[in-house]
């Protein structure tokens, strides 16, 4: 099996796509062979030395067949482009969400199985030291029975974000606040505690009239199906001027924990029976992929995993089934919403 010079293409060359480009160019095992975007390379900050195309089909016609296609386009295009890339013989890396509908995510999963290709989701928040530590606490049973989990995500998204003519805020390409802003934290819920069943949902659009086609805020109550506990998800993009926080509070048999910060990247409370909180590694570890900080730096772990998988030295840590479950949970929440 090949262990170096894996070829990559990136489709969607906005802010997140440029992050993928930096990760690929920062790895000695990978080579960027194409960028794809409906905008011309003159309008983008893509590498001048790399071939640029307006579509996956145009790249294919040019005879370029990368080992991996990283998809960083608007949400509503993810599944369609993943299917096209897999059919052309590429593995795919898909930015969140995997799709906007469970049925489309299932098509991607089936195509990957049929063609023997890997589907790697980008859920980089799992790699933060507080997240990895909390996963160990739950899996090792140190908390005992989980009684309640409360997730609070309060961010700012205003006219500066929802630019005229952009895909953000549209129902068909954006999908909703849970898909674009907060699917990472629903993934965290599922990764830590298993499946959830929403019981009641209230959604509102407080101050984004004319900017978005859906809610800017919501309150969700749910059961945890494997833990037998209950929980809530409260979220909003109506915070004035700047992001406030994303936090998770856990009330359990043997203690309580709260992780917070803008991306759940800080442990702010840990009081657990017969347990002393250890010092955690820094949230911005050195890496080979560029000077990214915060949750952006965690993309380096995603690409480390990609290289392990391609070289046959590891398994996918954020696989297609998990990406499908996140889509399914969000669909259930929206199906139950009262407005």
Which CATH number does the domain housing residue 253 bear? 3.30.360.10
On whether residue 40 sits in a domain, the answer given is yes
On whether residue 303 sits in a domain, the answer given is no
Separation CA 6–CA 228 (nearest Å): 44
For residues 207 and 249, state if they share a domain: yes
For residues 35 and 117, state if they share a domain: yes
Q: What is the pLDDT of residue 105?
A: 98
Name the pLDDT band for 137 (thresholds 50, 70, 90).
very high
Residue 20 DSSP SS3: helix
On whether residue 323 sits in a domain, the answer given is no
End-to-end, the C-alpha distance of the chain in Å comes to 52
Q: What is the pLDDT of residue 228?
A: 87
Domain boundary among 78, 95, 122: 122
On whether residue 235 sits in a domain, the answer given is yes
Q: Looking at the chain, how many residues does it have? A: 339
On whether residue 321 sits in a domain, the answer given is no
Q: What is the pLDDT of residue 199?
A: 97
For residues 263 and 172, state if they share a domain: yes
Whether 288 has a pLDDT exceeding 70, the answer reads no
Residue 235 DSSP SS3: strand
SS (H, E, C) 263-322: CCCEEEEEEECCCCCCCCCCCCCCCCCCCCCHHHHHHHHHHHHHHHHHCCCCCCCCCHHH
Using one digit for the tens of pLDDT, what is the confidence trace for 289-311?
A: 554 444 456 888 999 999 999 99
* Other CB atoms within 10 Å distance of the CB of residue 205: 18
For residues 102 and 189, state if they share a domain: no
Q: What is the pLDDT of residue 299?
A: 86
Using one digit for the tens of pLDDT, what is the confidence trace for 159-189?
A: 999 987 789 999 999 999 999 999 999 999 9
Domain boundary among 95, 122, 149: 122
Judge contact between 92 and 47, C-beta under 8 A: no
For residues 210 and 130, state if they share a domain: yes
Percent of the chain with pLDDT over 90: 87
On whether residue 308 sits in a domain, the answer given is no
In terms of Cα–Cα distance, which of 124, 50, 35, 72 is closest to 303?
Answer: 124
Using one digit for the tens of pLDDT, what is the confidence trace for 254-277?
A: 999 999 998 899 999 999 999 999
Name the pLDDT band for 339 (thresholds 50, 70, 90).
low
Q: How many domains does the chain have?
A: 2
The range of the structural domain enclosing residue 108 comes to 6-122
Q: What is the pLDDT of residue 247?
A: 97
Using one digit for the tens of pLDDT, what is the confidence trace for 205-215?
A: 999 999 999 99
SS (H, E, C) 92-103: EEEECCCCCCHH
Q: Transcribe 123-156 into DSSP letters.
A: -GGGGSHHHHHHHHHHHTTTT-SEEEEEEEEE-B
For residues 105 and 245, state if they share a domain: no
CA angle 159, 242, 218 (to 5 degrees): 80
Alpha helix (H) ranges present in the chain?
15-25, 56-61, 78-87, 102-115, 129-139, 177-180, 183-193, 299-310, 320-336
Judge contact between 216 and 205, C-beta under 8 A: yes
| Cα-to-chain-centroid distance, residue 325 | 12
CATH number at residue 38: 3.40.50.720
For residues 85 and 97, state if they share a domain: yes
Residue 33 DSSP SS3: strand
On whether residue 317 sits in a domain, the answer given is no
Q: What is the pLDDT of residue 98?
A: 97
Separation CA 238–CA 82 (nearest Å): 32
Residues 6+ apart with CB under 8 A from 322: 121, 123, 187, 190, 191
For residues 39 and 144, state if they share a domain: no
Domain boundary among 100, 122, 144: 122
Whether 204 has a pLDDT exceeding 60, the answer reads yes
For residues 33 and 181, state if they share a domain: no
Separation CA 318–CA 305 (nearest Å): 9
């Amino acid at each position: 099996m090949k262990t170096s010079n894996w070829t990559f293409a990136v489709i969607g060359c906005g802010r997140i796509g440029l992050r993928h480009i930096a990760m690929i160019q920062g790895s000695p095992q990978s080579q960027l062979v194409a960028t794809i975007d409906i905008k011309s390379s003159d309008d983008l900050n893509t590498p001048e030395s790399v071939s640029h195309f307006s579509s996956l089909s145009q790249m294919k016609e040019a005879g370029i067949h990368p080992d991996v296609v990283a998809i960083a386009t608007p949400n509503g295009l993810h599944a369609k482009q993943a299917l096209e890339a897999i059919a052309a013989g590429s593995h795919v890396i898909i930015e969140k969400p995997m799709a906007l509908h469970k049925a489309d995510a299932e098509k991607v999963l089936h195509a990957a199985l049929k063609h023997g290709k890997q589907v790697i989701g980008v859920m980089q928040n799992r790699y933060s030291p507080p997240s990895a530590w909390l996963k160990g606490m739950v899996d090792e049973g140190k908390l005992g029975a989980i009684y309640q989990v409360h997730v609070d995500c309060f961010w700012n998204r205003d006219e500066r974000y929802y630019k005229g003519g952009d895909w953000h805020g549209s129902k068909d390409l954006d999908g909703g606040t849970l898909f674009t802003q907060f699917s990472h934290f629903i993934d965290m819920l599922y990764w830590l505690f298993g499946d959830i069943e929403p019981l009641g949902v209230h959604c509102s659009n407080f101050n984004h009239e004319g900017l978005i086609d859906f809610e800017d805020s919501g309150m969700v109550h749910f059961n945890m199906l494997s833990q037998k506990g209950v929980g809530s998800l409260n979220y909003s993009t109506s915070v004035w001027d700047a992001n406030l926080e994303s936090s998770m509070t856990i009330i359990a048999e043997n203690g309580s924990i709260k992780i917070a910060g803008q991306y759940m990247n800080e442990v702010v409370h840990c009081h657990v029976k017969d347990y002393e909180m250890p010092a955690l590694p820094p949230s911005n570890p050195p890496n080979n992929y560029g000077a990214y900080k915060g949750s952006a730096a965690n993309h380096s772990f995603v690409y480390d995993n990609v290289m392990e998988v391609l070289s046959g030295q590891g398994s996918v840590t954020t696989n297609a089934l998990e990406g499908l479950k996140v889509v399914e949970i969000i669909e259930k929440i929206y199906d139950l919403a009262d407005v």
